[in-house]
Amino acid sequence: MALKYNGPLQMQINDIAQVAEYMWEKGWAERNAGNISVNITELVGKENRNLPVISKTPLQHVVPELDNQYYYVTAAGSRMRDIARNPMDQGIVVRVTEEGSSIETLADKDLPPTMELPSHLLMHRVFAKEALSNNLPVSSGRRLVFHTHPTELIALSHIKALQSSKAVTETLYRMHPEVTMCIPDGVCWIPYQAPGSIELAKASIKDLTRYSFMLWEHHGILATGTDILDVFDAVDTLNKAAKIYFYIQMQQK
């Protein structure tokens, strides 16, 4: 069954497609690299809440705070260049059900979600707790998780002297003052864990209440927020600062 579009939902899907195109054009999304999930509960509309269930998948970890929340999720193996052309050809809309123990795929195809979905949902659970603690709807705060492979940031993550939250943040702040404005809380350093693993998810959510941006060692950036275009802009600024760092290093040799 195809997703029925209203104005706000169409704009959100368009923004996802636009960011996917930017990722591909910048070389941050080689092959099937990168993944996106966005809470669209407030946008999905009555017209989509009764869509027939295409498939149902149990979750590895129960996320009760996300019960009856709707998400756009990129599919496993999806390529950002293809998502840019048609976000619903390699992405799906899912609903969390049974008190957070499973997801139902509602539109448009029966595709497996990104392998990072367990990590994403644990992060969305942190966002839900933040909102609920302030007596707000789950989707009213941070509502998106965005992972990509910016070349210079990954290169930066290989430098031993910068492998801490303090060191990498201070270095990026020194390179470009815009970083301080875009990411005032800094960047969290996450030591290497296997991509898609629960170990990586747990390492990431440990400091997620303090940080919105995380540099995964040898792997890329994990970014969270409320607006996907704003989050992309912040990551772009971070990567610009990393480029400046390497330009300076070359000049000093």
* DSSP structure string for 40-73: -TTTS-HHHHTPPP-EEEE-SS--GGGTT-EEEE
| Domain count of the fold of the chain | 2
Specify the pLDDT at position 168. 98
Give the tens place of pLDDT for each residue, 137-173.
998 999 999 999 999 999 999 999 999 999 999 999 9
Dihedral sign, Cα of residue 193, residue 93, residue 235, residue 182: negative
Over range 12-30, report the average pLDDT: 97
Residues 60, 32, single domain; the answer is: yes
Q: How many other CB atoms are found less than 10 A from the CB of residue 102?
A: 15
Residues 103, 188, single domain; the answer is: no
* Mean pLDDT over each residue of the chain, to the nearest integer: 95
Annotated catalytic sites, by residue? 116
Over range 120-125, report the average pLDDT: 95
Residues 82, 132, single domain; the answer is: yes
Over range 76-95, report the average pLDDT: 96
Residue 253 reports pLDDT greater than 70: no
Assign 226 a pLDDT band (cuts: 50, 70, 90).
Answer: very high
Q: How many other CB atoms are found less than 10 A from the CB of residue 78?
A: 25
Residues 133, 226, single domain; the answer is: no
Residue 243 reports pLDDT greater than 70: yes
Residue 77 backbone zone (phi > 0: left; psi -120 to 50: alpha; other: beta): left
